[in-house]
Amino acid sequence: MNYFIKQYKNSTNNGICSINLPSSKSESNRLLVMNALSDGKIDLNNLSSARDTQTLIKLLENENELNTFDVLDAGTAMRFLTAYFAVATKNEVALTGTERMKKRPIRILVNALRSIGAEISYNNEEGFPPLKIKPFQKQISSKISIPGNISSQYISALLMIAPSLPHGLEIKIEPPVFSKPYINMTLGLMELSGIQYSQNKNTISIQYQKYQESSQGVESDWSASSYWFSIIAQSEIGKKVFLEGLKSKSFQGDNDIKEIVGNFGVSYKFEKTGILLEKISSAKNSLLKLDFKKCPDLAQTVLPCAASLNVDLEMTGLESLRIKETDRISALQNELSKFNCKLTEPEKGIWKLDSSNFKAKEGIIIETYEDHRMAMGFAPLALKTGIQIKDIEVVNKSYPSFWEDLELFGFELVEQ
Ligand X SMILES: O=C(O)C1=C[C@@H](OP(=O)(O)O)[C@@H](O)[C@H](O)C1
Q: Decide whether 283 or 295 has the Cβ nearer to ligand PEP.
A: 295
CA–CA separation, 357 and 221 (whole Å) = 33
Relative to beta strand 119-122, strand 143-147 is unpaired
**CB 218, CB 31: distance < 8 Å:** yes
| DSSP, residue by residue, 104-132 | S--HHHHHHHHHHT-EEEESSSTTSS-EE
Please report whether residue 373 would count as binding ligand PEP according to CB under 6 A: yes
| HEC assignment per residue over 162-211 | HHHCCCCEEEEEECCCCCHHHHHHHHHHHHHCCCCCEEECCEEEECCCCC
Out of 30, 51, 279, 324, the only residue in the binding site for ligand PEP (CB under 6 A) is 324
Binding partner of 373, given ligand PEP, ligand X, none, CB within 5-8 angstroms per partner class: ligand PEP
Which one of 30-38, 69-77, 88-96, 306-314 is the stretch in contact with ligand PEP (CB under 6 A)?
A: 69-77
Report the residue number, 9 or 322, with the smaller CB distance to ligand X: 322
CB 195 within 8 A of CB 37: no
CB of 57 or CB of 66, closer to ligand X: 57
Stretch that binds ligand X, among 175-183, 200-208, 233-241, 353-361 (CB under 6 A): 175-183
CA separation for the pair 48, 220 (Å, rounded)? 8
Active-site residue, 297 included? yes
- In the list 163, 253, 265, 296, the residue contacting ligand X (rule: CB under 6 A) is 296
CB 97 within 8 A of CB 71: yes
For ligand PEP, the binding residues in 172-211 under the rule CB under 6 A are none
Of the residues 28, 35, 76, 230, which one makes contact with ligand PEP according to CB under 6 A = 76
Does residue 26 bind ligand X (CB under 6 A)? yes
Instruction: Give every CB contact of residue 249 below 8 A, 6+ residues apart in sequence.
Output: none
| Residue of 53, 152, 355, 368 that binds ligand X (CB under 6 A) | 152
Residue 355 interface partner, choices ligand PEP, ligand X, none, CB cut-off 5-8 Å depending on type = none
Q: In the set 35, 76, 263, 300, which binds ligand X (CB under 6 A)? A: 76
Distances (CA, A) of 79 to 30, 98, 222, 285: 11, 14, 22, 40
Tell me if 326 contacts ligand X by CB under 6 A: no
C-alpha closest to that of 413 among 403, 400, 399, 401: 403
Catalytic residue among 52, 297, 371, 405: 297
In single-letter form, the type of residue at position 55 comes to T
Kindly state whether residue 151 participates in binding ligand X, applying the rule CB under 6 A. yes
Question: Residue 285 — φ and ψ, nearest 5°?
Answer: -90, 5
Q: Segment contacting ligand PEP (CB under 6 A): 72-80, 138-146, 261-269, 378-386?
A: 72-80
Binding site for ligand X (CB under 6 A): 26, 76, 151-153, 156, 178-179, 182, 296-297, 320
